[in-house]
């Protein structure tokens, strides 16, 4: 199976976007825990492979403060439980945060906050599937595959965008794609 990829510069550093030719399969930061070890066999750099051009466009608009959600076809590989967690992540409005315990309750398993944290950490489509919006119970920033500094930058960016707009957070349109 071919994995198409492209690199993109962003305010949080270089981003690696991957695709199966139809859907976005990954979005990784440099030194991303649980990210790929690098470009491997069967990987083809192709900036025109679907949906990579649209993903780059939407990400550029996100970082420019012009959009707060994403509308991209996603095909993230994971367990049924992981996909359930990732779908719920997409329902967290831009600029807002919830705890791992709150996320566990939202998926109907209030005792699964640790498992939710592990699934959150395995999210292969960071930023688009906003795992950075999940924080510790006491409001502390914990557990982000791209690093806590990047998590803080993303949360600050979203809050700043919403403050400039004077509006509430918007929900991602990608939530139903993990269903």
Choosing from 24, 131, 135, 155, the catalytic residue is: 131
Paired residues of 18 in beta bridges: 5, 26
Q: Distance between CA 128 and CA 120 in Å, rounded?
A: 13
Assess whether 131 carries a catalytic annotation.
yes
Buried b (16+ CB within 10 A) or exposed e, 141-151: eebbbbbeebb
**Could you give the residue numbers annotated as active site?**
131
């Amino acid at each position: 199976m071919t994995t198409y990829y492209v690199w993109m510069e962003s305010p949080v550093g270089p981003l690696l976007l991957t695709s199966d030719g139809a859907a976005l399969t990954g979005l990784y930061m440099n030194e991303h825990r649980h990210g790929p070890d690098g470009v491997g066999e069967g990987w083809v750099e192709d900036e025109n492979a679907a949906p990579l051009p649209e993903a780059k466009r939407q990400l550029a608009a996100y970082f420019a403060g012009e959009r707060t959600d994403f509308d991209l076809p996603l095909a993230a590989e994971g367990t049924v439980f992981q996909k359930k967690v990732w779908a719920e992540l997409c329902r967290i409005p831009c600029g807002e945060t919830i705890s791992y315990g709150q996320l566990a309750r939202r998926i109907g398993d209030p005792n699964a906050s640790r498992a939710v944290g592990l699934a959150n950490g395995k999210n292969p489509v960071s930023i688009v599937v906003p795992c950075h919006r999940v924080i510790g119970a006491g409001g502390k920033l914990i557990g982000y595959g791209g690093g806590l500094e990047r998590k803080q930058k993303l949360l600050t960016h979203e809050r700043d965008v919403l403050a400039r707009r004077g509006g509430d957070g918007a929900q991602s349109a990608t939530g139903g794609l993990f269903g």
